[in-house]
Structure formats: C-alpha cells, structure tokens
Amino acid sequence: MKIGLLFLVFMVMIQSVLYFALYWTLADDRVDEVFNRLVQQTESHAEALALDFSDMTMSHVVLMEQSTAEDVVITDGEKQILASSMDPSEALEETVVAFQLPDENQGSLMIEDNWQGEEEIASAALISVDEETAGYVFMLAPSDQIAGTIDQLTVQFVIGGLLAIALSVVTVYFLSRVISVPLRRMKTATDQLARGEMHVTLGYEGQDELGELEMAIRRLAQDLEKLKKDRNEFLAGIAHELKTPLTYVKGYADIARKPETSETDRLRYIGIIEEEAASLSRLVGELFDLAKLDSNEFTVEMDDVDLSGFLTNFCEEARGVLREKEISLVTHVEEGLWTRADLDRLTQVLRNLLDNAVRYSETDTTVTVEARRDTENRIQLSVSDEGIGMAKHHLPYVFDRLYRVDKSRSRAKGGSGIGLSIVKSIIDRHGWSIAIHSEVNQGTVLTVTMPEGRKRNGKNSDRG
C-alpha cells in the first residue's frame, strides 16, 4: 500500500498542476470573450453613428442597449454626454471624462478591464465623420457578469477535480491490489528461499513484468536448489577423496611399523603412502585454487612463451609417468609456435588436461598432444584420449564447478569435479577458448584455441 499511496500523491500533484493550468487558461479565455464582445458591440455602434451622427440614430442606439445588461454613453468630441442608456449624472460625467480615449489609429479598445477591482468594465470607440472626430461611444458592462462566469467555471472545475481524485483513489486501490498481492507473495517466497526452503509457489501466471519477475524467482529457486545439491555432493565427494587416501596412509603406516613386515613389503607400503600423499597434495592444491577463484585472487602474468619448446619438454617429462600406467603418449607439435601466456598457469592447464585424459583411459591406449596453426593464424592445442568418453548431454556441463559425469565412479576413474572448472577459469583469464568433443567408448578431445605471438626478441606484438 505504500507504493499505492506514493503513486496516488504523484497522481494528485500532476492532476492539480494540469487542472490549475487548464482552469486559468479557460478563465482567461472567458474574460477575453466578454472583452471582445463588448469592444465589437462598441465598434458597431460607432460605425452606425459615423454614417448618421444624428439625434435619431443616437436614440436608436440607446434604445437597443436598454434591454441588455450593458449601458451605452455617446459624447461629442469634448466628452460632453449627448445620449445615454443610463440616467445622466455628475458621477457618470466624471467617469466618462476619466476614461482614456482611443485615437484615430486605435478605433476602439477596452478602457477599463479591471473586472476584479472595479464595478464596471468599459470600452470606447471613436466616431469619425469626414475624417474628423465627431464624438465617442462608451459601452459599460457590470463586472459581476465576468465574476459569475468565473464562479460557474470554478464550481465545474471543483466538481471535476473531486471526481478525478475519487476516480484516482479507486484506480490506485485496485492497481495496488493487483500489484501488491503478487509482490507480497514474492516477498514470502524470497523469505522462504532465505530460510533454505527451495520449493516455493507464487500462484501468479500473468504475462506482464510481474510474471517475468515471478519466473525469475522460480529460476532462482531452481538454481539455488541445484547449487545446494551440487554443494552437498561436492562436500561428500571431497570428504570421500580425503578420507580414502588418509585411510590408506594410516593403514599402510600401521602395517609398515609391525616388526614382522619384511623390508620389501615395507618399501612397497611406503611407496603407496607416498602416492596417496601426492593425491592429497594435488586435491588440496585444487581446493586452494578454487578458493582463489572465488576471492578474485587468481591472477595471470602474461609473457612470451615458446609453446613448441614448452610442449616438447612437458610431454617428455610426462611420458615416463604414462609409461608406468601402460599408456602411450604421442605428440604432434608444429615448430616455431609462440604465444603470450602465464607459463605456470599454462603448465597447470596442460597437467589437468593430461591428468583428465589418463584418468579415463584404459591400459594399452594412446593419449595424444597436438599443437598447430589453423587457417586464421591461431594455435589449436588439443589433448585427446581413447578412453571411455561421455554422453553428449554431459558436454555442456563438464566445465561447471563441482560437476562430475558419473557420481558413482570409483576413485580410479572419478575426479573431484574441480580440475576442468579451474582449466576453464585459466583459459578465460587468458582470453582464450576451450571446446570439448566426446563419444562414449571412443574417447575425448579437449581443444584450447589461443592467439599466436611473436618470438620474444621479435619487434612485433601478438598477431592474434
């Protein structure tokens, strides 16, 4: 209702301004109509008397005005009264003498228009015979004629204004009901969302702006529900990812401490503990990166990078690790590729992409790293595998934070749902793009598109 009252106040203010403007315009028009009519009447008598300035004509003019509310006074050139529809008196003579007279160029004019301060208004016209001033015609009308007209107009405007205000009140009331009821429902719904109740109903099916707002709140509720579900799944997954290696570390540490454990088994158990510790370290590092992304502390420092040399060295170091997993690593890197990038972040991207490819690959398969120029002088860096792949309906979401294609996958196959989202964030911070293509049981290809740069000692800057 507060909005309704505010709207009503504004409506009344606007109506008042418009009404007063219209009132004064119409009032001035009515007054001007009376003035014009009186001047025209005076000029008409002056023209008749100019044709025949005689006692008979003057008597006819006086007779015509005796049946009206106006009075006529006819004088000679010295303003001596010759005829009048009023009883001649000293006061009348003084009034006529005080009037400002029109000259030959003016013809006729209003000589008293103060209808609010004087009892009468008056007009005068020059009587010209043979181009000489023969006399004057004065028309006098009571001011209460105009006052009555203005009073009538005022009453009409007051009644109209009251009706307009009453109609505005009714209109604003119904509009307030139409608007405020859905808004109160939406407020109740947002309060429910704030309390964590995601299943909200608003009951408004309109196609207007309120309907769009209602749909936005519904989408917000759905997004919050999905976010809450993803968060719970993420926390459960992280708890599992942390608990499993810790369990292994504790279990194998206990076994390694036993005196009856042989030296060979003890070394093997220590190796398992080191692998699980490395897994924990990698997971904690991803969680730190995720926290930096949330707090906008994740920065990139651009520099010229010899991409061809970097990929060759990186893949050479990684080839031994993949060989232990019985997976072949093949590289196809075009010579002379340079770009601008944060080398540490680029290493993180490639490590995540390669780790993702290895995780979902079986033994005796191949992972391929390829880098080449395309027809638009951009660099296409791709990492492909021959692994289990994924269904197409998963592809739009694989870069979403916390998204896991299969929640039921084993530790050996399922990741934490963080790596690819970090990759996407790094790619975005560089202004690059990344795309994915995958088919079930055929493998997955992840392709990063970046602009090609010049060599560090070159004179030109980036080309793309």
Asked whether the predicted pLDDT for residue 411 surpasses 80, the reply is no
User: What is the rounded distance in angstroms from the CA atom of residue 107 to the CA atom of residue 128?
Assistant: 9
**Average pLDDT over every residue of 426-431:** 91
The more confident residue out of 250 and 413 is 250
Helix or strand (DSSP H, E) at 438? strand 433-439
Asked whether the predicted pLDDT for residue 198 surpasses 80, the reply is no
Helix or strand (DSSP H, E) at 243? helix 209-257
Strand partners, 51: none
To the nearest whole number, what is the mean pLDDT of the chain? 81
**Strand runs (DSSP E) across 260-404, as ranges?**
303-306, 327-333, 338-341, 365-373, 378-384
CATH architecture of structural domain 303-451: 2-Layer Sandwich (3.30)
Please report the pLDDT score of residue 464 as a whole number: 38
Question: For the ranges 34-48, 211-225, 409-423, which has the lowest average pLDDT?
Answer: 409-423
The more confident residue out of 2 and 257 is 257
Q: How far is CA 10 from CA 6, 14, 158, 169, 170, in A?
A: 6, 6, 19, 12, 15
Q: Provide the pLDDT confidence category of residue 336 given band limits of 50, 70 and 90.
A: very high
| CA torsion, ordered 436, 369, 362, 353, to nearest 10 deg | -50
Helical spans, DSSP H, in 295-430:
307-324, 343-359, 419-430
Asked whether the predicted pLDDT for residue 14 surpasses 50, the reply is yes
Please report the pLDDT score of residue 75 as a whole number: 87
User: What is the rounded distance in angstroms from the CA atom of residue 438 to the CA atom of residue 115?
Assistant: 94
Helix or strand (DSSP H, E) at 128? strand 120-129
What are the structural domain ranges in the chain?
A: 2-149, 209-294, 303-451
Predicted model pTM: 0.49
For 9-41, letters b (16+ CB in 10 Å) and e give eebbeeeeeebeeebeeebeeebeebbeebbeb
**Pairing between β-strand 327-333 and β-strand 365-373 as defined by DSSP bridges:** parallel
**Average pLDDT over every residue of 408-421:** 61
**Average pLDDT over every residue of 141-152:** 86
Question: Percent of the chain having pLDDT more than 70?
Answer: 81
Q: What is the CATH number of domain 209-294?
A: 1.10.287.130
pLDDT digits 0-9 by tens, 275-325: 888 878 877 877 777 777 766 666 788 999 999 999 999 999 888 888 888
pLDDT digits 0-9 by tens, 209-220: 666 776 777 777
Helix or strand (DSSP H, E) at 92? helix 90-98
Q: 93 near 68, Cβ under 8 Å?
A: no
Q: Provide the pLDDT confidence category of residue 191 given band limits of 50, 70 and 90.
A: confident
Strand partners, 303: 341
Q: Both tokens of residue 86?
A: 């009023």
**Average pLDDT over every residue of 92-98:** 68
Please report the pLDDT score of residue 161 as a whole number: 84
The more confident residue out of 179 and 329 is 329
Q: How many CB atoms lie within 10 A of CB 205?
A: 8
User: What is the rounded distance in angstroms from the CA atom of residue 147 to the CA atom of residue 115?
Assistant: 8
**Average pLDDT over every residue of 65-81:** 86
Q: Both tokens of residue 418?
A: 């963080």
Q: 366 near 330, Cβ under 8 Å?
A: yes
Q: Provide the pLDDT confidence category of residue 128 given band limits of 50, 70 and 90.
A: confident
Q: Provide the pLDDT confidence category of residue 206 given band limits of 50, 70 and 90.
A: low
Please report the pLDDT score of residue 459 as a whole number: 41
User: What is the rounded distance in angstroms from the CA atom of residue 146 to the CA atom of residue 36?
Assistant: 13
Q: Provide the pLDDT confidence category of residue 103 given band limits of 50, 70 and 90.
A: low
Please report the pLDDT score of residue 190 as a whole number: 75
Q: Provide the pLDDT confidence category of residue 101 given band limits of 50, 70 and 90.
A: low
Instruction: Name the packing angle between helices 209-257 and 144-194 (round to 10°).
Output: 20
3-class secondary-structure state, position 375: coil
**Average pLDDT over every residue of 445-462:** 73
**Average pLDDT over every residue of 166-190:** 75
Helical spans, DSSP H, in 52-84:
55-66
Q: What is the CATH number of domain 2-149?
A: 3.30.450.20
Asked whether the predicted pLDDT for residue 418 surpasses 50, the reply is yes
Asked whether the predicted pLDDT for residue 246 surpasses 60, the reply is yes
Q: 308 near 334, Cβ under 8 Å?
A: yes
**Strand runs (DSSP E) across 144-200, as ranges?**
none
User: What is the rounded distance in angstroms from the CA atom of residue 114 to the CA atom of residue 122?
Assistant: 9
